[in-house]
Structure 1
Amino acid sequence: MTAKLKIHRFAKSGHSHRAVLFASLLGLDAELIDVDLAGGAHKTPDYLAMHPFGQVPVLQEGDQTIWDSNAILVHLAINHDASGAWYPQDQRAAIQAWLSVAAGPLFNGPCAARLVTVFGADFDHERTKATAAALFEVLEKELGKRPFLVGDKPTIADVALYSYTAHAPEGGVTLEPFENIRAWLSRIEALPGFVAMPETKAGLLA
């Protein structure tokens, strides 16, 4: 009997959405457990026992607990994608490079810009928007060469970068100049099992 998947998440977190989206793309039945960030649920001893940094998401599968959204993508791909298409052996170095981009420029750019406008984070908004624009210039060029980030088919690299890119306008970052990026987003949204992250207007904290 397959162990039940549980994803502890915050619905409007792009990091959480990565995990939820990929589980859905794989056709997995995951129980979604909402974490009350405003109430400090992520800083309780029980939650910190699952994630030492007190962040979302966390994946539980049987006696395994996986924290960090990119680690969750790798875990799900290795353990639940029999085809190997989402994390192919011959593309893993390239995929890892994009996972690093997701943890670096994507976080410091469109993610951080959205944290400012939607959640009131104390970041330099102009700097986050400039970081996002520089990232999108590179993404636009790369996606002009191929339909997905590392080839002709989607991988977990695409899942890792999708959510905060798609919701960049919520942080005041326009996608209008980036035709290739917008086409890539549409290709991901057309995949069987795609689920969207809730939209949030700037200035709304809930």
Structure 2
Amino acid sequence: TCLYTSYNTKLIFKSWTGSSWVPNTVDTGSNTVDHNPPYFSAVAEGDYVHAVFLSSSSIKYVKHTYDPYFPSLSSATTVQSSVTSTSAPILSIHTANNYLYCFWAGSPTADHVYYKKCVGGTWDSSPTDWINEATDHLTANDMLTCFYSSYSYKIGLVYMTKTSSPYNVRFEFLTMPVVPEYPYGLLVILAICVPIYLVARYGWIDRFARSARPSRELAQ
């Protein structure tokens, strides 16, 4: 899927079938990308494309669903309101569980980098204040980029500090939990081990009972 826009216009999604472009496009309607250059970021998940964009000083999110005839787009939801006019959002996806991470800078506090996580379509209610550059100061709120997707359970971020030359280019990363938040692995282990334990335990007791029975009969 190709995303395109221009100053103060809607964000448009156009899909490719593998051999031709889908004739129907979908767009964000009244939620325009109102900065020049336009700020938006997107990642793919199977037949879905997740996108964030800056609109009226708010970070908005939409989800595009691929279809060769009738692609669709969800209604825009607000990830974070009242950000600066240059708080360019960037999006990454943790491929182990398809959680989304949206990063931006400069709001609620200047010279800080924040992020929110999206699980199952629901974004964190409050942002995580992740990086504090109050000493060196951020070069600009739109001077940052991140991994497209997680790598070795990490999502990296590159950004700039200092407001005059020489500038700094800095790197930081989030470490994702290796064990899934839902204990599917533990449930599988229990499903395998518990029957083995029960068979071993009660099978041994049954064998002991059978071996002890002749001794009791002789004693009688």
For CA contacts below 8 A with separation 6 or more, give which structure has more relative contact order.
Answer: 1
Q: Structure 1 or 2: larger helix share?
A: 1
Q: Structure 1 or 2: larger strand share?
A: 2
Mark the structure with the bigger radius of gyration: 2
Q: TM-score, normalising length from structure 1?
A: 0.27
Q: TM-score, normalising length from structure 2?
A: 0.26
